[in-house]
Amino acid sequence: MAKKDKEQDVLAAELKTANVEGVEKTSRREQVESEADSLSIEQIKSASLTQNAGDFDWDGNKKGFGNYSKAEREKLEALYEGTLSSVTKGEIVTGKVVLINNKDVVLNIGFKSDGLVSLSEFRDTPDLKVGDDVDVFVESQEDSNGQLILSRKRAKTQRSWETINKALENDEIINGFVKSRTKGGLIVDIQGVEAFLPGSQIDIKPIRDYDVYVGKTMEFKVVKINHEFKNVVVSHKVLIEDDLENQKIDIISKLEKGQVLEGTVKNITAFGVFIDLGGVDGLLHITDISWGRIDHPEEVLKLDQKINVVVLDFDDDKKRIALGLKQLQAHPWESLATEIQVGSKVKGKIVTVADYGAFLEIIPGVEGLIHVSEMSWSQHLRNPQEFMKVGDEVEAVVLTLDREERKMSLGVKQLTPDPWVGVADKYPVGSKHKATVKNMTNFGVFVELEDGIDGLVHISDLSWSKKINHPHEFTKVGETLEVVVLEVDAENRKLSLGHKQLEENPWDTFETIFTLDSVHQGTIIKMADKGAIVALPYGVEGFAPTKHLVKEDGKSLGAEDTSEFLVIEFNKDSKRILVSHSRIWEEEKAQERAVERDTKKKEAGAQAKAVKKVKESVERTTLGDLDVLAALKEQMENDKKK
């Protein structure tokens, strides 16, 4: 406590002395200013010189002060120049740390004054101590406070740019610290200069996660410098490529078919996998990955996975290398159980469905074909997808087996009895049944009587009376159709069926109704190219040619018109009826003309008889009567001409 009081007393005394001196200085300054007001400029100058001359000790030289010989002066000047160095703004110099405080680092660079560098510029050197040498950049020889200003950061940057440019010119390798990730790549710190590392230049293989490189120190090559914008682009990939090129030459020189190599999965596509063999890429096709069927290579392999592969083939330049993985394992056919023979039952999974059948995988790599014809006892063509789909667990019977060719055919229908055995007894000719329409063609309808028993109803056997152009006009797939068995061919597995035969042939009756020249009322239901289809009574359809559709007024009948039609042709065998509307009115007019001709003929006969009678009586008439008779004769002749 006493020590503190003593320090306070000393401080107070110093402040008092300073105040007194300040007051005295102020008083003297005021006195000189007051005196100066009463003196001229010349008097002031003279007084000043007199005062200085009075204060100066003119005998000082006699006492030996400042009295140097030429040699001594040169020696002292040399010593002085050796202790100070001249510096230039923008120059990089080396300084020695003389002091470190909480804000700055004081450096001695041999100049007339020490320089300051912000302590923040030494964050990367936490072990900095007094006496260390540091390269700095001279920013200013003297600021407003007369202080020498230095920068370590700018010195580092300038030296770094020199190093970077030298690395680009000489194709040298430099180290850099990966600071952060940015769009399209990484930011690398190279001795204080930020450079850009594109994602494509990180590695020879595609990089999926850039973040794994952040915080690492790596080697790079400078590939581009933009001096205008101070941009630097570096690459790590070129270093790998240089190493791999040497490995690639070595690998290719030793490459042989059948050679087993270790590789890394570089890329996976739908058609195969690219394997990195140490600088050389090879293709492992999807068909060479596994003996079993796979939909995509990802089912078996993963990116960056290391695997052994065998060289299957390569081109002359050894640029395209075909690799195999399944070839390193024994073929599954060699391990197929000997108990499996023709007639054996096997189980498996459907792996592929095609238009012609399906493949059943018994064990991985061993497949058998189930042809579509072996899926069902049915004979008409079907889509295999109606029976099976990929992934189905199926049991089948071995139909053929060739272990050397590694082929096997299978059947599913053989697991059930053949329905065609005894079909003639079950479906005799003339028997009636109900069937399901399964398929239609231009010539008929395929129906199923039971599973495996199919038959054909020809288009001509669908209806007695209707003219059917296509079966879909009569029925639809999935509908039930009553049929009668017309013919059985068990050997060729064919059934001929009919539908119209369920009823008596109405054309026997129609023959007595639609006789030639008979007239019936009909309606045009459809216009055709050469005429019209006419709906006649009893559900019968007839055909009227175009020229037979003309009406009496010269116009023609059209669709949905109803009128009378004359039967001009009837054919029971071909079920054809030709009708005409024009014939009706044409025949009526012909009859009228015939009646008119008969009437005129009778009138002409009567007149002829009258003339003959007159002629017979001419001889008995007088001359006066002759004039009358002549007039009468002329009148009769004129009437005859008319």
DSSP track, 57-70:
-TTTGGGTTT---H
Taking only the tens place, the pLDDT of each residue in 156-211 is: 777 778 888 888 888 888 888 999 998 888 999 887 788 899 888 888 777 778 88
Q: Is the pLDDT of residue 315 over 50?
A: yes
Q: Is the pLDDT of residue 128 over 80?
A: yes
Max distance between CA atoms of the chain, in angstroms, equals 219
Q: Which of 171, 180, 250, 176 is nearest to 220 (CA)?
A: 176
Question: Nearest 5 degrees, angle CA 610-CA 612-CA 617?
Answer: 95
CATH of domain 423-502: 2.40.50.140
One-letter amino acid of 255: L
Mean pLDDT of 351-368: 89
Q: Which of 126, 186, 124, 127 is nearest to 160 (CA)?
A: 124
Beta strands in 490-610 (DSSP E): 494-498, 519-527, 531-535, 541-545, 562-571, 576-580
What number of residues does the chain have?
A: 642
Q: Are 194 and 178 in contact (CB under 8 A)?
A: no
Taking only the tens place, the pLDDT of each residue in 58-88 is: 454 444 445 667 777 767 666 655 555 566 6
Mean pLDDT of 234-263: 80
Distance (Å, whole) CA 602 – CA 559: 46
Q: Are 184 and 230 in contact (CB under 8 A)?
A: no
- The more confidently predicted of residues 195 and 139 is 195
Mean pLDDT of 211-228: 87
Distance (Å, whole) CA 173 – CA 303: 30
- The more confidently predicted of residues 316 and 436 is 436
- pLDDT computed for residue 81 by the predictor: 54
Distance (Å, whole) CA 399 – CA 344: 8
pLDDT bin (cut points 50, 70, 90) of residue 38 is very low
Please tell me if the domain spanning 70-155 has the same topology as the one spanning 255-328.
yes
Q: Which of 176, 215, 167 is nearest to 195 (CA)?
A: 176
pLDDT bin (cut points 50, 70, 90) of residue 324 is very high
- Structure-token match 């010119």, residue found: 169
Distance (Å, whole) CA 15 – CA 10: 9
Question: Worst-scoring range by mean pLDDT, 93-97, 233-237, 248-252, 609-613?
Answer: 609-613
Q: Which residues contact 540 (CB under 8 A, 6 or more apart)?
A: 465, 510, 514, 577
- The more confidently predicted of residues 91 and 287 is 287
- pLDDT computed for residue 20 by the predictor: 36
- pLDDT computed for residue 53 by the predictor: 43
Distance (Å, whole) CA 365 – CA 37: 123
- pLDDT computed for residue 543 by the predictor: 92
- pLDDT computed for residue 628 by the predictor: 59
Q: Is the pLDDT of residue 27 over 60?
A: no
Distance (Å, whole) CA 167 – CA 221: 7
Q: Is the pLDDT of residue 515 over 70?
A: yes
Q: Is the pLDDT of residue 146 over 90?
A: no
- pLDDT computed for residue 167 by the predictor: 83
Q: Which CATH superfamily is domain 507-580 in?
A: Nucleic acid-binding proteins (2.40.50.140)
Question: Worst-scoring range by mean pLDDT, 118-127, 218-227, 387-396, 496-505?
Answer: 118-127
- pLDDT computed for residue 457 by the predictor: 93
Q: Are 121 and 152 in contact (CB under 8 A)?
A: yes
- pLDDT computed for residue 301 by the predictor: 92
- pLDDT computed for residue 523 by the predictor: 93
Looking at CATH, the fold of the domain delimited by 171-240 is given as: OB fold (Dihydrolipoamide Acetyltransferase, E2P) (2.40.50)
- The more confidently predicted of residues 22 and 81 is 81
- The more confidently predicted of residues 545 and 139 is 545
- The more confidently predicted of residues 441 and 250 is 441
For 334, phi then psi, to 5°, come to -70, -20
- The more confidently predicted of residues 204 and 333 is 333
Q: Is the pLDDT of residue 369 over 90?
A: yes
Distance (Å, whole) CA 361 – CA 368: 7
**If you average pLDDT over every residue of the chain, what do you get?**
79
Taking only the tens place, the pLDDT of each residue in 623-640 is: 455 565 666 667 767 766
- pLDDT computed for residue 639 by the predictor: 65
Mean pLDDT of 315-320: 72
Looking at CATH, the fold of the domain delimited by 255-328 is given as: OB fold (Dihydrolipoamide Acetyltransferase, E2P) (2.40.50)
Beta strands in 319-381 (DSSP E): 321-324, 345-353, 357-363, 366-371
Q: Is the pLDDT of residue 11 over 60?
A: no
Domain coordinates of the chain in residue numbers? 2-63, 70-155, 171-240, 255-328, 332-415, 423-502, 507-580, 594-641
Question: Worst-scoring range by mean pLDDT, 129-133, 145-149, 302-306?
Answer: 145-149
- pLDDT computed for residue 226 by the predictor: 85
pLDDT bin (cut points 50, 70, 90) of residue 130 is confident
- pLDDT computed for residue 395 by the predictor: 93
Q: Which two tokens stand for residue 122?
A: 């030494």
Q: Which CATH superfamily is domain 70-155 in?
A: Nucleic acid-binding proteins (2.40.50.140)
Taking only the tens place, the pLDDT of each residue in 476-508 is: 998 999 999 999 888 888 889 999 888 877 777
Taking only the tens place, the pLDDT of each residue in 558-612 is: 888 999 999 999 988 778 899 998 888 888 887 777 777 777 777 666 666 666 6
pLDDT bin (cut points 50, 70, 90) of residue 249 is confident
Give the burial string for 177-191 (b: 16+ CB within 10 Å, else e).
Answer: ebeebeeebbbbbbb
Distance (Å, whole) CA 139 – CA 152: 10
CATH 2.40.50.140 fits 332-415, yes or no: yes
Q: Is the pLDDT of residue 37 over 90?
A: no
